[in-house]
Amino acid sequence: MPNWINRLLGGRTNAPDERKNFAGHSLLSLNQLGAANWSQRGFASLVNQGFARNPVVYRCVRLIAETANRVPLVVSVNGQRVEEHPLSELLGRPNARQSGGELLEAVYAYLQTAGNAYLQAGMIDGAVRGLFCLRPDRMKVVAGADGWPMAYDYTVGGRSQRLRQDSEPLPAVLHMALFHPLDDHYGMAPLDAAQTSLDIHNAAGQWNKALLDNAARPSGALVYSMAAGTLTEDQFNRLKDELEANFAGAGNAGRPMVLEGGLDWKTIALSPRDMDFIDAKHAAARDIALAFGVPPMLLGIPGDNTYANLAEANRALWRQTLIPLVVRVADELSNWLAPAFDGATIAPDFDGVEALAEDRAALWSRVGSAEFLSDAEKRAMLGI
């Protein structure tokens, strides 16, 4: 295969009358600053680029879903906690294929990646016999004349099933959605807010891989010396197009060249070190963690000293992210299922959470030392 420089110059010794003349050197830059390339919006694209390919997103989602799932949900009837109840059995074994923990973990994970989570009630003879978590990307809201959802269409394998919300004793579908200021029906996930940082973090990884695949050589410019003659207009344009097609971009980072005939290589682009490449990648990782509400310290991301130690960072995760999430899911489940179980309610039990032990001990101490409260009032304040 002939050398690509010879192919460009065509082996010609006599230049045509029309020439492209330069004083000193001809410099062709290999890098041009163009518009940024962003990943597509949508659940499937963000999950593929984020959860499936980005370790920071993957760890944030798993950390939130698995840790929140450690909080047990308890059932109360007329304000009294009960251990044995049909609703407790349903939460413990919602369907034949999943345990209660698996179902709730899917709910928490879908809220982080899609901003929406859907539960379907399996009803037989007017009684709820099962709960099923449905994929958000397969659900479509069917709005009524008043604009509120009257049904949901669930599509699998090209076939759609309509799940109506006017069923008895409760709506067929529970739709949990995180707040979205520009959408009436669908929620906005933390993964949506982290898209820019996600693309930067992924691009940094792709650049590093391409650079390693091409012998870790930085990009630069090609200089054509006047001592070797001049380039014609056609040769100049063909050489420029060849360089942009074969040596520009992250996929061609560091790709080696074979030079001859007055061509010389000059490194002019900023190296990854000059660009604070690693710092930019860590900054993107911190932004991703910020969108999910996870302290970067818990993910091993350097450069964040907001918390004194891991224990304090763990408490912050519970206070600012996990407790609001668990309380919201429990309230949604309670309001949805209560009509089918004679008003029984669902609430989270945080007493067994190790990270909140100090907070719980401080509350017990304050309530216990309050002499103006009766024992009944103290028990009520402590949730006993």
User: Sorting pLDDT into bands at 50, 70 and 90, what band is 9?
Assistant: very low
In angstroms, rounded to a whole number, what is the distance separating the alpha carbons of residues 292 and 59?
10
**Angle value at C-alpha 383, between 377 and 384, nearest 5 degrees:** 80
In angstroms, rounded to a whole number, what is the distance separating the alpha carbons of residues 77 and 81?
6
User: Sorting pLDDT into bands at 50, 70 and 90, what band is 31?
Assistant: very low
pLDDT of the residue at 209? 77
Query: Which two structure tokens, joined as six digits, stand for 105?
Result: 């973990």
pLDDT of the residue at 371? 78
In angstroms, rounded to a whole number, what is the distance separating the alpha carbons of residues 110 and 366?
38
pLDDT of the residue at 347? 94
Q: How crowded is residue 4: how many other Cβ atoms within 10 Å of its Cβ?
A: 14
CB 200 within 8 A of CB 284: yes
CA distances (Å), 255 to each of 2, 3, 213, 236, in order?
18, 15, 8, 21
- Element holding 233 (H helix, E strand): helix 233-247
Q: 198: phi > 0 → left, psi -120 to 50 → alpha, else beta; which?
A: alpha
Q: Which pTM was predicted?
A: 0.76
Exposed, middle or buried by CB within 10 Å (0-12, 13-18, 19+), for 367? middle
Q: How crowded is residue 133: how many other Cβ atoms within 10 Å of its Cβ?
A: 20
Exposed, middle or buried by CB within 10 Å (0-12, 13-18, 19+), for 353? buried
User: Sorting pLDDT into bands at 50, 70 and 90, what band is 263?
Assistant: low
Residue range 253-266: average pLDDT?
A: 60
pLDDT of the residue at 276? 66
Work out the percent of the chain whose per-residue pLDDT is above 70: 74
In angstroms, rounded to a whole number, what is the distance separating the alpha carbons of residues 72 and 150?
32
Reading across the β-sheet that carries 73-77, which strands appear in turn?
80-82, 73-77, 345-348
Mind listing the pLDDT tens digit for each residue in 134-146? 999 999 999 999 8
Mean pLDDT lowest for which of 2-6, 174-178, 260-264? 2-6
pLDDT of the residue at 1? 46
What mean pLDDT, rounded, does the chain reach? 81
- Element holding 238 (H helix, E strand): helix 233-247
pLDDT of the residue at 302? 80
Work out the percent of the chain whose per-residue pLDDT is above 90: 44
- Element holding 80 (H helix, E strand): strand 80-82
Q: Is the pLDDT of residue 133 over 90?
A: yes
Q: Is the pLDDT of residue 191 over 50?
A: yes
Q: Is the pLDDT of residue 92 over 50?
A: yes
Q: CA quadruple 105, 110, 116, 119: dihedral positive or negative? A: negative
Higher pLDDT, 81 or 210: 81
